[in-house]
Amino acid sequence: MAYAMTGFTVRDHRVQVPVDWSAPERFGSIEVFARELVDPEKASEDLPLLLFLQGGPGHHGPRPLGGGWIAAALATHRVILLDQRGTGRSSPVDGRVIGGFAGAAQAADYLACFRGDAIVADAEHLRATVFGGRRWATLGQSYGGFLTLTYLSRHPDALTRCYVTGGLPPATATAEDVYAATYRRQAARNREFARLHPTDVPLLGSIADDLGSTALPTGEPFTVQRLQQLGQPFGMSTGLDEVHWLLDTARTPSGDLSDAFLASVVRSTGFESGPLYAVLQEVIYHQGSREPGWAAQAEHDRWPSFAADARPLQLTGEVVFPWMYEQHRVLRPFRAAAEELAARTEWPLLYDLDRLAANEVPVAAVQYYDDPYVDLDLALATSVGNLQVWITNEHLHDGLRVAGDTILPKLLDIAAGKARVTGR
């Protein structure tokens, strides 16, 4: 089906894929959905294809409103927006789906089929069945960069060029390594928040001290741990100010927590729009043999300054903890399966390091100095042939969102040899 929107024409595509690509009969099939965008004035042209690999994990592709990086891409490409398996219109996985399994082990087996290797296999099936096997370029934002290196590891012949924004993966690091690095950066972001908004620091502490048996509008408990989740957007360019303005109306004139503030906490810290984001948060790092357990929780316990009773109160970042599966109602159906995944000690490899080192597909990436989500040192530790990395402090993790109309053209020029970067 094709339809027009302001600035582009949309065509919807649906394909059936097995849940488990290694054993197609195991869980049956699911639907994968993608949108194809094209400039109406160029709809009859044989334009190159650009597959967008969404960040996440567990988030669907963007719903375009015009402008930004998509407008820049449509000047030269047909853009494919993939809803990764389990998200958006691609057979979404929610509590009802997980509740249909016989037990936690079976549900965990199912959820383990939603990692990057399966997403890349889905993309390959889409390319073969819908686009006639034409090679395409990819643009990977954040977790989409992880998918890019998995794609290069498995199907480099499918790719013409690859562009990565804030998402070169720590392909040789463990989840434990990742959180050890990102906790340091989140601590720095808390210091910057205190510098910019010093009056918010005692306000946060007073809110934490007053919570007691406070409930959110959803009926969920409003705990200090949930309050600390407000720091998740600290990795974004506007994240510090967003938290400041949220706190601006936290209390009513009588000193109570306002209804508007409580509603904002639900929106800012909930997982209703993507429970897979929580379930897969650590799973995307696991390869080969590993020690069982929750990596983020273990690292959190090494930082007494992030404890719920510490003052000044520190806000946590892009992390998922076991307690969330009790306090967040949308995650409760996933609790037992998430525990099973955390206990697993053997995982398939996601990256072929030898193939990546010998890669010949042009790859242009931008990484951000102070990004607390994707640590720069870990991102640069993986050897990738034909990779050029533009390193900048102009943006944080959301550079593509806030400045995509300048970032993407520069990456296109870097990959085409029209611009150079220093470093690797």
Instruction: Give the confidence band of 424 by pLDDT, cuts at 50, 70, 90.
Output: very low
Within 10 angstroms of residue 290's Cβ, the number of other Cβ atoms is 17
Instruction: Give the confidence band of 423 by pLDDT, cuts at 50, 70, 90.
Output: very low
pLDDT digits (tens, 9 = 90+) for 236-245: 999 999 999 9
* Nearby residues of 62 by Cβ (< 8 Å), 6 or more positions away: 52, 54, 70, 81
Residue 422 has pLDDT above 70, yes or no: no
Residue 22 has pLDDT above 90, yes or no: yes
Q: Are 124 and 150 in contact (CB under 8 A)?
A: no
Give the domain ranges of the chain: 2-171+350-415, 175-347
Correct CATH for 2-171+350-415 of 3.40.50.970, 2.30.110.10, 3.40.50.2300, 3.40.50.1820:
3.40.50.1820
Instruction: Give the confidence band of 182 by pLDDT, cuts at 50, 70, 90.
Output: very high
Distance set, CA 400 to CA 68, 96, 142, 195, 347 (Å): 8, 34, 10, 26, 31
User: Which of 90, 50, 40, 55 minimizes the C-alpha distance to 70?
Assistant: 50
Residue 409 has pLDDT above 80, yes or no: yes
Location of structure tokens 């996440």: 56
Residue 59 has pLDDT above 70, yes or no: yes
Within 10 angstroms of residue 417's Cβ, the number of other Cβ atoms is 9
Averaged confidence pLDDT in the chain: 96
pLDDT at 4: 83
Instruction: Give the confidence band of 135 by pLDDT, cuts at 50, 70, 90.
Output: very high
Q: Are 344 and 141 in contact (CB under 8 A)?
A: no
The proportion of the chain whose per-residue pLDDT surpasses 70, expressed as a percent, equals: 99
Mean pLDDT value of segment 314-338: 98
Distance set, CA 135 to CA 54, 127, 157 (Å): 19, 8, 8
pLDDT digits (tens, 9 = 90+) for 347-376: 999 999 999 999 999 999 999 998 999 999
Distance set, CA 142 to CA 204, 239, 398 (Å): 30, 16, 9
Residue type, 177: D
Q: Are 300 and 215 in contact (CB under 8 A)?
A: no
pLDDT at 124: 98
Residues pairing with 400 in the sheet: none
pLDDT at 5: 83
Mean pLDDT value of segment 132-137: 98
pLDDT at 3: 85
